[in-house]
Structure 1
């Protein structure tokens, strides 16, 4: 099954921070794949902008090396890369000074869509917005893309929103979260609202609990400097996992458009109840064998920054009253795996007796590494000897069900960048949504800082701290095993 590619209109995309790691690993390879797919036409232009001194020829070589290293599309011929590189140019620019801005203004064409990707730290968002306005580069139809972290608390997020709002309308601002570009994440809405089978059961009457897991097998690596100032709560819980929670818990929007979808997501965040201290576990991985511990990978060896968080969240509305959401994320865990598991309640009465055991239907949405959906159902175990029950999966992996071409679906950055060009904000966070998420997360972080306690150590390659297991055991539940 091959997805239909609809070319986008001509555009000028400026990548501020065009020589940075994100541009090298994600943005440039994503654009090249869309060029190969025929979605990005030869009338599009990409402008890299950064303080690094280089000319356009050198930037094209930089892009060639990045795409060669990070793009695995073997079907795209060498001449396609040459054609893509011809559409790239570069401007040396100072985000806080005057260097390069007149050249930037001259490079912008009249007519094509204008998009400006802020692939820089949030400290430069306001400066870039100010200069795009002062030099009359951005117009009322221009779009800006801003990366996380969008603030580190509610106050800083409000300040960033206020700074951008001076020169850009909310309809022009695209706060990108690459998790929302994943094919399976978007399938959450299709599963819920496109199937009569599930939506009538999607509530506290039938759902016992929901688990959301985003586990990483790697440590902080070279990101130690950034990560130690952030931690798992700010780096993952406030954005990625919050978005997954919203999609799994939100009410059906009136229609599938940006305003309606984001209105419903915001209602979920505002309905979240405060988290009790005993319902939060934070951990930090320690070294095992040749694997270094967290404190060996950051500058502050006495750091209290968490690399693991698990918590129980409750949503105070009619749909989910009494149904807990167990959420966990961490680094240096047993395997790299991301999934959402909707655990349905037991049948109200079993006709098979105690010997049949306990069986539950579980709908599992796998986000990575093997994207797919699995529904666990109970059947009779084949063979004589009575009614013995066994759980079996109805498993749909995208690669098997949709054919080998399903592996060629656009990755998150490909999809989201093209959504920016199309002007579709459905998969991007709105300003009030970001602020509401921080308003829920901030008290949890503040409570940690008040008690000044160290995170619980857990062994690298494990499932996290034992206290995270007890978080569910005390409720008579257990985490699903982390497996690739």
Structure 2
């Protein structure tokens, strides 16, 4: 198989927050892996910028340690690491002051692609954007990358978008959601739009329901202060799960391009029906096996913030009328598992007797921990004794179909950062998408806040509160087991 990789021009990438945890765990190891794979061009430079007063050699040691910790041994070739580190530089910069900015301006090259990764809290986005412009560092073709949260409600999201728009055009702003960089999320679009087998069936006439699950084994841990002001709805549903819902439900775009794809995602968000109280289940994990409860983790004994949420959502358009989308996400659950499960309707008439059984086809798209897809189809169970039906998976394996190299898929951050350098915004959120998602989310949060609803307790290692099971049972359906 010949790999077709879109070439990348030489670039300067500045990472604000270059000494932070995200840079250490994801951004810098991801860039090294792309360098190891030969997908980073000659003439690239990575510039760390943070308030820590240190020189480039100290930062290179920091990056070397990050590579050692987060890159597999097979890719940790000493000469490759040294070549990568030789292209790294560091400048102490005060995000809210003037120190370091003239030095950064002097270092930037005008004849290469320029990108600025805001790996900092949203409170610094405006400060960084303003100084990039004031010190003549930014240019018409440069790009900025901003991490979530994109606000905590509609008004703050609008304010954040307005602040960025004062200094950069929308086509320069890359709002990163790492879920969109996952291989199987993109394969969902390929399966839908590159195969005549699926798209004619991708509607309410043939699909019974869709489940989207993002389950985590860990609790809120050291993020308790942040999480208790956010909760599962703001932290996960408004962005990650919303994006997965959009890609599953959207109409075919005219082409695989940034605005064409994002236009269709926006239509899905705007078509979402408001949620009633009976469509929502919220929960908090309790203590177990020596592990603290949610209330202990966040040090707030009266907290009404949810660590789990399940929703029944309807997309009010012709394609999906009558087909519900069930979303759930939570902390301290049975297993770490993220997947999209599309359950098709059973045949309208079975020619087999009742003993043979009747089953629905199920397409599952696994995002983590093991990315992949399988389609469950019904066949005859081998052997004599009559017609007995059994479900078997048609499992797609990258390694079996495309060779062992294809199984070693890039991390989501690797793909998305390289898309920034290429200038491809297809897998990034647009400002109006963010605002539309908050416009749908805000009334839901406001309603349970006004009622004073308390989340339901659930045991760690479970699938969430019992009422989440009832949410589907009352419709004659069941959640797919978390495993």
Q: What's the TM-score, normalizing by structure 2?
A: 0.98
Cα offset for 1:404? Answer: 2.4
Q: Distance in 1 between matches of 2:299 and 2:99?
A: 34
Deviations 1:152-208 (A, max 9, x none): 000000000000001100000000000000000000100000111100000000001
Aligned to 1:133: 133
Aligned to 1:44: 44
Q: Distance in 2 between matches of 1:113 and 1:73?
A: 31
Aligned to 1:368: 368
Q: Distance in 2 between matches of 1:111 and 1:179?
A: 32
For 1:241-252, what aligned pairs fall within 5 Å after superposition? 241-252=241-252
1:393 is the counterpart of 2:412: no
- Say whether the 8 Å CA contact 1:2–1:405 is kept in structure 2: no
Aligned to 1:269: 269
Q: Distance in 2 between matches of 1:80 and 1:412?
A: 22
For 1:316-331, what aligned pairs fall within 5 Å after superposition? 316-331=316-331
- Say whether the 8 Å CA contact 2:211–2:479 is kept in structure 1: yes
Unpaired runs of 5+ residues, structure 2, are none
Q: Distance in 1 between matches of 2:126 and 2:256?
A: 32
Cα offset for 1:307? Answer: 0.8
Cα offset for 1:324? Answer: 0.2
For 1:219-298, what aligned pairs fall within 5 Å after superposition? 219-298=219-298
For 1:56-455, what aligned pairs fall within 5 Å after superposition? 56-72=56-72, 74-455=74-455
Deviations 1:123-146 (A, max 9, x none): 111111111111111011110000
**Per the alignment, in what secondary structure is the counterpart of residue 74 of structure 1?**
helix
CA separation of 1:121 and 1:2: change in aligned 2, threshold 3 A: farther
Cα offset for 1:453? Answer: 2.1
- Say whether the 8 Å CA contact 2:284–2:455 is kept in structure 1: yes
Deviations 1:270-297 (A, max 9, x none): 0001011110011111111122211221
**Per the alignment, in what secondary structure is the counterpart of residue 75 of structure 2?**
coil
Q: Distance in 2 between matches of 1:107 and 1:206?
A: 58
Q: What's the TM-score, normalizing by structure 1?
A: 0.98
- Say whether the 8 Å CA contact 1:208–1:343 is kept in structure 2: yes
Q: Distance in 1 between matches of 2:374 and 2:250?
A: 21
Q: Distance in 1 between matches of 2:3 and 2:17?
A: 32
Q: Distance in 1 between matches of 2:2 and 2:304?
A: 48
Cα offset for 1:147? Answer: 0.2
Cα offset for 1:73? Answer: 5.0
- Say whether the 8 Å CA contact 2:67–2:76 is kept in structure 1: no
- Say whether the 8 Å CA contact 1:11–1:114 is kept in structure 2: yes
Greater mean alpha carbon deviation, residues 346-355 or residues 199-208 = 346-355
Q: Distance in 1 between matches of 2:2 and 2:284?
A: 43
- Say whether the 8 Å CA contact 1:283–1:457 is kept in structure 2: yes
Unpaired runs of 5+ residues, structure 1, are none
- Say whether the 8 Å CA contact 2:284–2:456 is kept in structure 1: yes
**Per the alignment, in what secondary structure is the counterpart of residue 115 of structure 1?**
strand
The size of the alignment, in residue pairs, is: 483
Q: Distance in 1 between matches of 2:274 and 2:365?
A: 27
Q: Distance in 1 between matches of 2:306 and 2:413?
A: 28
Q: Distance in 2 between matches of 1:337 and 1:73?
A: 26
Cα offset for 1:398? Answer: 2.6
Q: Distance in 2 between matches of 1:89 and 1:365?
A: 40
- Say whether the 8 Å CA contact 2:17–2:119 is kept in structure 1: yes
Aligned to 1:28: 28
Deviations 1:41-76 (A, max 9, x none): 231111111111111111111111111111125234
Deviations 1:274-331 (A, max 9, x none): 0111100111111111222112212323211111110000000000011000010111
Q: Distance in 2 between matches of 1:400 and 1:332?
A: 34
Q: Distance in 1 between matches of 2:356 and 2:473?
A: 23
